[in-house]
């Protein structure tokens, strides 16, 4: 026949697709695919900067069907797809691109959903230039395939058509798993475990589900209804959520352990790194996540006292954000949308050496943010409230042991930047979990992240697993999903082994 045939060999979370095509099918494929030679790269259109800064809606439009099909058809169907190798989930990109190009959207969706529990979210906010698209072989000379935008299009089409269903257990199982943390790692694990039939309870200290997806990442990158939609699917699929429950204070960790056959810690990293310069305690010098959370809560319709009082609101203020990562980019662009008087970003290295995504820097510049590269704060000036940042210029010296050039202060370069709101976006470290959980035997690394055996995803405590930022340190959503899936796989193996152990003992007796 003329249609490709598919063999699906499924080792639970790891899916390998073996494809065999007839000669006719190959001819068919070549007609649809490899159009990169004649068709240029298109990215989804972006709302004009002066329009998009008026609200917190996403800035990128969606591909329509025709553009998605055409862009997907640019893929050269590599024998060794580097895009797939460099996607943390090893998504089967060439195959879902081909199915999209052929208009076979339901199949494309099913394939995409096999390896990713939230493709529409990753399609929106993965730094594709550093992952799948950055490794696309046609990038040299022809510009990469727009993989992320097609991935988003596939799942949005699936939602529109009702193809996205809650997790459906193969059969109910009696064993239960407790998950601490409703961020991407916890949600991905819950989805996978529920499909296996486990009774899953997620505990979160927040009042909403999503972790940094809901309260960290602003709506202009990821609209909140997209996160709430995933929450609802899990509820409909039988996952239980216990919100406003801080494990360690409202309920003990030991209690959670006793209530479940296995526990997954997916608590993320929340201790803001600080900066030790004079004036850091002044009013108006605030941590990034407090600022972003207030803004996100406001967008979600909450009453936020610190926003109304002006403490966490940039309106009418001269804002200086210190830092050069994703969080800093989200802060500067949030401040622009809150009608700040001026917004500048102070970063001690140069543009090429910043950790944040270049795409987000370009977006911020378009929106009116001023970047002060190679600058670092020396002091925050003011009486009670900050009125200026004293900054100094930096020169990048010789590389250190890690290969990064060491920032060196240029003598006599001190200058003042007017500021009545300073946002510190210098990264995050883990909280002291062994202490918070009253579990001194829970081993952590020298950075405070939880140590796990990467083969079994298990911590030093039997039956306790860990995933996401709390293991890796501040990372990416897609790595959270990957770890959550791996942890679910490991928990399944663990519970199976536990339930088989007594029988094996009896059989051997
Ligand atoms: P989290 O998302 O942090 O979720 C942890 C959850 O655990 C939270 O809901 C928290 O309330 C809960 N919790 C913690 N302790 C307890 C406790 N004791 N009891 C109960 N609940 C608890 N990544 C990208 O890929 N793209 C981006 O564009 C991007 N932008 C970002 C922007 C910002 C501002 C930030 C801060 C991060 C960004 N990231 C981005 C990183 C990404 O959000 C994280 O890597 C990811 O969310 C980690 O997932 P997680 O599930 O490990 O943890
Ligand atoms: Fe690319 Fe992220 Fe999607 Fe993987 S999950 S294909 S890295 S956008
Ligand atoms: Fe297609 Fe690029 Fe992946 Fe090759 S690397 S399979 S061209 S998306």
User: Does pLDDT of 9 surpass 50?
Assistant: no
User: Does pLDDT of 27 surpass 50?
Assistant: no
Ligand that comes closest to the CA of residue 221: 1
CA of 436: how far to CAs of 170, 173, 245, 430, in Å?
A: 37, 31, 14, 11
Instruction: Kindly state the percentage of the chain with pLDDT values over 70.
Output: 92
- What separation in Å is there between the alpha carbon of 82 and the centre of ligand 3? 7
Ligand that comes closest to the CA of residue 331: 1
- Which one-letter DSSP state was computed for residue 30? H
Return the axis-axis angle of helices 224-236 and 184-195, rounded to nearest 10°: 30
183, 423, 430, best to mutate for ligand 1 pocket (most atoms within 8 Å of CB) = 183
pLDDT, residue 357, reads 84
User: Does pLDDT of 33 surpass 90?
Assistant: no
Classify the C-alpha dihedral 495-499-502-507 as positive or negative. negative
| Cα(249)–Cα(246) distance, integer angstroms | 6
CB 183 near ligand 1, within 6 Å: yes
Nearest C-alpha neighbor of 283 from the set 390, 420, 416, 427: 420
pLDDT, residue 139, reads 67
| Cα(237)–Cα(118) distance, integer angstroms | 15
32, 78, 86, best to mutate for ligand 3 pocket (most atoms within 8 Å of CB) = 78
- What separation in Å is there between the alpha carbon of 143 and the centre of ligand 3? 11
Closest-lying ligand 3 atom to the alpha carbon of residue 145: 8
Residue 482 has which token pair? 């990957």
User: Does pLDDT of 287 surpass 90?
Assistant: yes
| Cα(287)–Cα(273) distance, integer angstroms | 9
C-alpha angle with apex 193: 5 to 252, nearest 5 degrees?
Answer: 165
- What separation in Å is there between the alpha carbon of 18 and the centre of ligand 3? 17
Give Cβ neighbours of residue 486 (< 8 Å, ≥ 6 apart). Answer: 13, 457, 467
- Residue of minimum CA distance from atom 5 in ligand 2: 122
Residue 84 has which token pair? 């797939």
pLDDT, residue 508, reads 45
- Residue of minimum CA distance from atom 1 in ligand 2: 132
- What separation in Å is there between the alpha carbon of 124 and the centre of ligand 2? 9
Give Cβ neighbours of residue 128 (< 8 Å, ≥ 6 apart). Answer: 134, 147, 148
Residue 509 has which token pair? 């007796």
> How many C-beta atoms surround the C-beta of residue 237 within 10 A?
17
pLDDT, average across residues 306-316? 95
Read off the pLDDT of residues 425-473 as tens digits, 9 standing for 90 and up.
999 999 999 999 999 999 999 999 999 999 999 999 999 999 999 999 9
- Residue of minimum CA distance from atom 2 in ligand 3: 136
pLDDT, residue 31, reads 63
Read off the pLDDT band of 93 (50, 70, 90).
very high
Return the axis-axis angle of helices 358-366 and 326-337, rounded to nearest 10°: 20
Closest-lying ligand 3 atom to the alpha carbon of residue 138: 7
pLDDT, residue 5, reads 34
Identify the residues whose C-beta falls under 6 Å from ligand 2.
87, 89, 91, 93, 116, 122-123, 126, 128, 131-132, 147-148, 151, 478
pLDDT, residue 298, reads 96
CB 34 near ligand 3, within 6 Å: no
pLDDT, residue 452, reads 98
- Residue of minimum CA distance from atom 5 in ligand 3: 136
Read off the pLDDT of residues 351-385 as tens digits, 9 standing for 90 and up.
988 888 888 999 999 999 999 999 999 999 999 99
483, burial (CB in 10 Å: exposed 0-12, middle 13-18, buried 19+):
buried
37, 77, 89, 99, best to mutate for ligand 3 pocket (most atoms within 8 Å of CB) = 77
pLDDT, average across residues 56-78? 92
Read off the pLDDT band of 32 (50, 70, 90).
confident
Give Cβ neighbours of residue 338 (< 8 Å, ≥ 6 apart). Answer: 295, 313, 314, 315
Read off the pLDDT of residues 106-148 as tens digits, 9 standing for 90 and up.
999 999 999 999 999 999 999 998 999 999 987 666 789 999 9
pLDDT, residue 497, reads 95
Ligand that comes closest to the CA of residue 122: 2
pLDDT, average across residues 275-302? 96
pLDDT, average across residues 220-226? 97
Statement: the pTM of the whole predicted model exceeds 0.85: yes
- What separation in Å is there between the alpha carbon of 92 and the centre of ligand 3? 10
| Cα(16)–Cα(7) distance, integer angstroms | 9
- What separation in Å is there between the alpha carbon of 448 and the centre of ligand 3? 38
pLDDT, average across residues 474-487? 98
Nearest C-alpha neighbor of 144 from the set 161, 126, 132, 162: 132
Ligand that comes closest to the CA of residue 132: 2
CB 68 near ligand 1, within 6 Å: no
pLDDT, average across residues 300-323? 96
CB 93 near ligand 3, within 6 Å: yes
CB 75 near ligand 3, within 6 Å: yes
Instruction: Kindly state the percentage of the chain with pLDDT values over 90.
Output: 82
Nearest C-alpha neighbor of 332 from the set 314, 354, 310: 314
CB 78 near ligand 3, within 6 Å: yes
For 382, the enclosing helix (H) or strand (E) is: strand 375-382
């Amino acid at each position: 026949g003329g249609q490709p045939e598919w063999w699906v060999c499924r080792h639970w979370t790891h899916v390998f697709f073996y494809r065999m095509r007839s000669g006719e099918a190959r001819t068919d494929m070549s007609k649809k695919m490899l159009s990169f030679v004649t068709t240029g790269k298109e990215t989804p259109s972006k709302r004009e900067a002066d329009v998009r800064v008026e609200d917190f809606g996403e800035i990128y439009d969606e591909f329509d069907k025709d553009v998605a099909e055409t862009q997907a058809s640019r893929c050269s169907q590599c024998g060794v797809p580097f895009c797939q190798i460099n996607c943390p989930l090893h998504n089967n990109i060439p195959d879902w691109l081909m199915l999209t190009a052929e208009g076979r959207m339901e199949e494309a969706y099913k394939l995409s959903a096999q390896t990713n529990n939230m493709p529409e979210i990753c399609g929106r906010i993965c730094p594709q230039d550093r992952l799948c698209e950055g490794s696309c072989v046609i990038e040299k000379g022809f510009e990469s395939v727009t993989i992320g935008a097609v991935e988003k299009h596939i799942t949005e089409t699936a939602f529109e058509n009702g193809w996205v269903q809650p997790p459906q257990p193969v059969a109910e199982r009696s064993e239960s798993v407790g998950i601490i943390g409703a961020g991407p790692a916890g949600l991905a694990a819950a989805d996978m475990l529920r499909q296996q039939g486990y009774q899953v309870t997620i505990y979160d200290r927040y009042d909403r589900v999503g972790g940094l997806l809901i309260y960290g990442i602003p709506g202009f990158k990821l609209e909140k209804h997209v996160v709430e939609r995933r929450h609802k699917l899990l509820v409909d699929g039988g996952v239980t959520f216990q919100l406003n429950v801080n494990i360690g204070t409202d309920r003990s960790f030991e209690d959670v352990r006793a209530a479940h056959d296995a526990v997954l810690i997916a608590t993320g990293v929340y201790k803001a790194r600080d900066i030790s310069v004079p004036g850091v305690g002044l009013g108006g010098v605030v941590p990034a996540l407090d600022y972003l959370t207030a803004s996100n809560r406001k967008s979600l319709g909450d009453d936020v006292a610190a926003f109304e009082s002006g403490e966490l609101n940039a309106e009418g203020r001269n804002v200086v954000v210190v830092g050069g990562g994703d969080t800093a980019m989200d802060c500067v662009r949030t401040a622009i949308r809150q009608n700040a008087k001026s917004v500048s970003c102070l970063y001690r290295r140069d543009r090429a050496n910043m950790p944040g995504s270049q795409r987000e820097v370009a977006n911020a510049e378009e929106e009116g943010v001023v970047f002060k590269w190679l600058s670092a704060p020396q002091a925050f000036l003011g009486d009670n409230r900050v009125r200026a940042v004293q900054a100094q210029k930096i020169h990048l010296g010789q590389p250190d042991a890690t290969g990064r050039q060491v920032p060196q202060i240029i003598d006599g370069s001190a200058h003042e930047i007017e500021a009545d709101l300073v946002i510190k976006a210098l990264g995050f470290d883990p909280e002291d979990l062994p202490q918070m959980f009253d579990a001194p035997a829970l081993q952590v690394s020298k950075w405070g992240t939880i140590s796990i055996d990467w083969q079994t995803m298990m911590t030093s405590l039997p039956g306790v697993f860990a995933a996401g930022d709390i293991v890796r340190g501040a990372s990416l959503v897609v790595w959270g999903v990957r770890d959550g899936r791996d942890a679910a796989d490991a928990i399944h193996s663990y519970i199976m082994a536990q339930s088989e152990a007594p029988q094996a003992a009896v059989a051997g007796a």
